């Protein structure tokens, strides 16, 4: 197993898109999934605010964390491994890992028991970007599409310039649909091979202190064969 922070440069779940889909055309299903996640998060915000003071920060060195004298209880981490799709991911006990149906891509959603946070991992493959300037063009298109999304209030955006055939962006801010608002963090990486990885984490503002370090730990634990 090789742990990946943002994107494995060799393969993503073994996804192979024979149709040659353009990498930066984010599927409609993602919007539906994210909106659904936001509805779950905001509708359960009261439950999250009641429990956030009793849940300690995650320990990522072992699957089972040890509690200090000042902690109410240890946070137990479990490892979810999907042999068929070739990945593993760690998550706190009580969180749910789902393989979501999607054409020509892999979608994984990890959400907490209180529905106050979720992590969405999307791996997909598109046409080769080996020609001079193609990867840079895709990255510019991604940035434009992201910044033009009127549902987002971006507080941080930084482009990852192409290196060793891989580039992308890191972003953070607020995401609003109707009267529902959550905080989000997103990482997107695209390779010249056309394979891409998108990670989107969201949580209710009231649970930021607890859920931000947890979602960060979940993302860092993601690994592929």
Q: Residue 129 maps to which CATH number? A: 3.40.1000.10
Of 49-53, 66-70, 135-139, 148-152, which gets the smallest average pLDDT? 66-70
pLDDT band at 134 (very low <50, low <70, confident <90, very high): very high
Within the chain, what is the greatest distance between any pair of CA atoms?
A: 58
- Could you tell me if residue 87 is inside a domain? yes
In this structure, are residues 159 and 175 in contact, taking their beta carbons and an 8 Å threshold?
Answer: no
Write down the pLDDT at residue 174: 95
The DSSP secondary-structure symbol of 61 reads S
- Could you tell me if residue 60 is inside a domain? no
In this structure, are residues 200 and 149 in contact, taking their beta carbons and an 8 Å threshold?
Answer: no
Write down the pLDDT at residue 121: 92
pLDDT tens by residue, 56-74:
333 333 454 433 333 446 7
What's the whole-number average pLDDT of the chain?
75
**Residue 177 belongs to what H/E stretch?**
strand 166-177
- Could you tell me if residue 70 is inside a domain? no
Of 33-42, 120-129, 134-143, which gets the smallest average pLDDT? 33-42
Write down the pLDDT at residue 115: 77
In this predicted structure, the answer to whether residue 198 has a pLDDT above a threshold of 70 is yes
In this predicted structure, the answer to whether residue 10 has a pLDDT above a threshold of 80 is no
Q: How many CB atoms lie within 10 A of CB 20?
A: 12
- Could you tell me if residue 115 is inside a domain? yes
- Could you tell me if residue 217 is inside a domain? yes
Domain tally for the chain? 1
- Could you tell me if residue 71 is inside a domain? no
- Could you tell me if residue 61 is inside a domain? no
- Could you tell me if residue 63 is inside a domain? no
Of 5-9, 99-103, 146-150, which gets the smallest average pLDDT? 5-9
Q: Which domain holds residue 150?
A: 2-52+77-224
In this predicted structure, the answer to whether residue 13 has a pLDDT above a threshold of 80 is no
In this predicted structure, the answer to whether residue 23 has a pLDDT above a threshold of 50 is no
**Nearest CA-CA partner of 35 in 178, 188, 211:** 178
In whole angstroms, how far apart are CA 63 and each of 74, 77, 80, 141, 220?
11, 4, 11, 39, 14
pLDDT band at 225 (very low <50, low <70, confident <90, very high): low
């Amino acid at each position: 197993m090789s742990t990946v922070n943002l994107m494995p440069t060799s393969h993503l779940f073994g996804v192979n898109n024979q149709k040659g889909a353009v990498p930066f055309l984010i599927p409609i299903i993602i919007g539906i999934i994210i909106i659904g996640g936001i509805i779950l998060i905001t509708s359960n915000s009261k439950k999250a605010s009641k429990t956030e003071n009793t849940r300690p920060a995650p320990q990522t060195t072992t699957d089972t964390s040890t509690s200090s004298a000042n902690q109410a209880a240890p946070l137990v981490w479990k490892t979810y491994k999907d042999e068929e799709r070739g990945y593993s991911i760690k998550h706190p006990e009580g969180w749910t890992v789902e393989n979501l149906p999607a054409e020509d891509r892999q979608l994984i959603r990890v959400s907490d028991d209180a529905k106050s946070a979720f992590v969405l991992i999307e791996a997909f493959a598109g046409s080769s970007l080996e020609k001079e300037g193609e990867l840079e063009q895709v990255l510019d298109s991604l940035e434009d599409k992201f910044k033009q999304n009127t549902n987002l209030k971006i507080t941080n955006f930084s482009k990852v310039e192409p290196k060793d055939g891989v580039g992308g962006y890191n972003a953070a801010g607020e995401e609003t649909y109707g009267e529902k608002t959550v905080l989000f963090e997103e990482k997107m990486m695209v390779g010249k091979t056309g394979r891409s990885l998108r990670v989107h984490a969201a949580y209710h503002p009231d649970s930021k202190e607890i859920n931000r370090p947890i979602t960060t730990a979940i993302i860092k634990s993601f690994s592929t064969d």
